[in-house]
């Protein structure tokens, strides 16, 4: 077993904990980072699509090629302690002890969009370590997962044949963030129908260049094609898109810092009083808070 990898991963885990918990000097740690241009690939899609199984198959192929992989797997928060439920530990059990694989669980902690509220910082810490690929898997909350497009260099949206009826409703959500669609469980009936429906909607949206790949994750079918596809997309990624994504990260960091000292409890208390006034106006209330 590679001892140096273990030592590096222990250091990485400690640094992630420092950033995630915002402990003392965490901003100094972030400012000292020297992130590499490690490709970040997001896996998202509705619940039950088989994202974890497909990601497991992809990781297995890459580990067999001696690639070093970092995983950020975002689980729903526990309703009691806001920690991750650690379902990913079970899902990734086949590769859990591989010295080239680092897995980190992040809790959503009530954050909308399927992502953790510290994921930008955690991702930057991970990019300072020598990974060949970093993967992010979201909790699977459907169309609200569009936030992942602001973090990943390439976004894989995983669907199943049964999703065919909802393809039209997807245009304003997952349809717009996908760099590649993976139709998983494609041995089921209606697989060809959803591929055709999806390609039709992509054509209408002017995005017919988006690849649609059929996969069967449990048999690792279509996995090689999926890896080849996102590798090609990473190579072709243009500078304009990269600058846009960096800009989105900057905005999220600024928003978080400006809200860090905001007293939510005091706001709610004041709101409970003000809302009793007959002339209460939400926008005037917000303006008072900002003044």
- The domain ranges of the chain are 3-258, 261-290
CATH class of the domain comprising 3-258: alpha beta
Query: From CA 129, how far away is CA 173, in angstroms rounded?
Result: 32
Q: What is the pLDDT of residues 135-171, one digit of tens each?
A: 998 866 544 455 666 778 888 989 888 765 556 556 5
Query: Mean pLDDT, to the nearest integer, of 175-203?
Result: 87
Query: Mean pLDDT, to the nearest integer, of 248-252?
Result: 77
How high is the pLDDT of residue 172?
Answer: 52
More confident residue, 153 or 107: 153
Query: Mean pLDDT, to the nearest integer, of 101-123?
Result: 70
């Amino acid at each position: 077993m590679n001892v140096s990898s273990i030592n590096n991963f222990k250091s990485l885990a400690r640094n992630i904990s420092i950033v995630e918990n915002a402990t003392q000097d965490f901003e100094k740690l972030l400012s000292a980072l020297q992130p590499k241009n490690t490709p970040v690939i997001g896996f998202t899609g509705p619940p039950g699509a088989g994202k974890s199984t497909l990601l497991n198959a992809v990781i297995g192929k890459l580990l067999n090629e001696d690639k070093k992989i970092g995983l950020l797997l975002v689980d729903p928060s526990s309703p009691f302690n806001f920690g991750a439920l650690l379902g990913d530990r079970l899902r990734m059990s086949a590769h859990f002890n591989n010295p080239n694989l680092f897995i980190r669980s992040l809790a959503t902690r009530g954050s909308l969009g399927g992502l953790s509220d510290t994921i930008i910082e955690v991702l930057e810490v991970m990019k300072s370590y020598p990974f060949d690929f970093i993967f992010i898997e979201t909790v699977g909350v459907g169309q609200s997962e569009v936030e992942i497009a602001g973090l990943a260099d390439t976004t894989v949206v995983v669907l199943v044949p049964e999703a065919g009826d909802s393809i039209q409703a997807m245009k304003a959500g997952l349809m717009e963030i996908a760099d590649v669609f993976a139709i998983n469980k494609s041995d089921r009936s209606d697989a060809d129908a959803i591929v055709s429906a999806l390609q039709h909607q992509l054509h209408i949206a002017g995005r017919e260049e988006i690849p649609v790949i059929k996969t069967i994750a449990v048999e690792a079918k279509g996995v090689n094609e999926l890896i080849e596809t996102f590798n090609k997309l990473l190579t072709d990624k243009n500078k304009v898109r990269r600058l846009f994504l960096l800009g989105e990260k900057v905005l999220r960091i600024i928003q978080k810092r400006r809200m860090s000292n905001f007293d939510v409890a005091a706001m709610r208390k004041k709101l409970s009083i003000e809302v009793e006034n007959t002339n209460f106006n939400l926008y005037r209330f917000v303006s008072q808070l900002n003044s």
